[in-house]
Amino acid sequence: MREFFSGLFTPDPGVVDGLLALAVLYALVVGPGRKILAPDEPFEKKRAIYFGIGFLILVGAVATPIDHIGETYLFSVHMLQHVILMAVLPPFLIHGTPVWLSDFLFRTEGLGKVLRFFVHPVVACISFNAALIIWHVPAFYELALRDSFVHLLEHVSFVVVSIFMYWPLLGRRSDVEPMHNGLKILYILAVGLAQLPLFGVITFSPSVLYPAYEKAPRYIEGLTAHGDQVLGGVIMKLVAVIYMMAGFVVYFYRWYRTEQERA
């Protein structure tokens, strides 16, 4: 029992180091770095608040019992963790990025070219769903559960490709016009539909796909390994549907308002 609770509340030291490094890096960039990169730009408290909320979400996903339970006992909790990293976290990180910082990153030689390639809507949609599918292939998924470095790599890749996926919708640059609201609706539809094969395999598979959870102690009495897998698939798709419908409503309304103003 002591080992159980110790595992619950003891985050990986590498994760803690990474979180601290991220917080310090952001503080340095928007603080002293802003005076060098964009001396005429004011400090935006709103952006810092967005980043702070995103940082707390990240801590909740990777440095709380969610991580230990998902990695050791329940596939559904692990899927909840992935949903937090891929759906909930990225919008806050994007809104926490000042426009002057976006401009600097995208104009930097080399890095800017890479960023422009990956935030292209077609590339962003493909890379997001490719990462989602590849990491849920049983062989790679099990490897991530066994190796802490691979697990960290998995989570970092999830966050990165999710930021790329959200950028065409939420990203802001002073030299680029936002994507048309009608195209945003089609983009959301494409991203959501591409997830259907993975959702179908996980949810409707007649057998347990991941042996680690089949062998794990039953964390919740009465919840079988297969039932846990089905629940994980439902969590994944339910959140995707909620975000898709919210996106449809928001961007269709903005599209309507734009046309009304033009008329």
Residue 221: its pLDDT value, please?
A: 84
Q: Using pLDDT thresholds of 50, 70 and 90, give the confidence band for residue 8.
A: low
Q: Using pLDDT thresholds of 50, 70 and 90, give the confidence band for residue 261.
A: confident
Q: Using pLDDT thresholds of 50, 70 and 90, give the confidence band for residue 10.
A: low
Other C-beta atoms lying within 10 Å of the C-beta of residue 230: 17
Residue 12: its pLDDT value, please?
A: 72
Give residue-wise pLDDT tens across range 38-94.
888 888 999 999 999 999 999 999 988 899 899 999 999 999 999 999 999 999 999
Residue 4: its pLDDT value, please?
A: 42
Quick one: what percent of the chain has pLDDT higher than 90?
73
* Residue 6 clears pLDDT 80, i.e. is over it: no
Residue 14: its pLDDT value, please?
A: 74
Tell me the whole-structure pTM to 2 decimals.
0.92
* Residue 35 clears pLDDT 80, i.e. is over it: yes
User: Taking the mean position of all CA atoms in its chain, how far away is CA 61?
Assistant: 11
Mean pLDDT calculated for residue range 117-145? 95
How far, in Å, CA of 254 to CA of 239, rounded?
Answer: 22
3-state SS string over 116-164? HHHCCHHHHHHHHHHHHHHHCCHHHHHHHHHCHHHHHHHHHHHHHHHHH
Residue 9: its pLDDT value, please?
A: 56
Q: Using only C-alpha atoms, what is the Rg of the chain?
A: 20
Residue 97: its pLDDT value, please?
A: 95
* Residue 3 clears pLDDT 70, i.e. is over it: no
Q: What value does the mean pLDDT of the chain take?
A: 90
Q: Which residues neighbour 240 within 8 Å (Cβ) at sequence distance 6 or greater?
A: 87, 192, 195, 199
Which position has the higher pLDDT, 105 or 4? 105
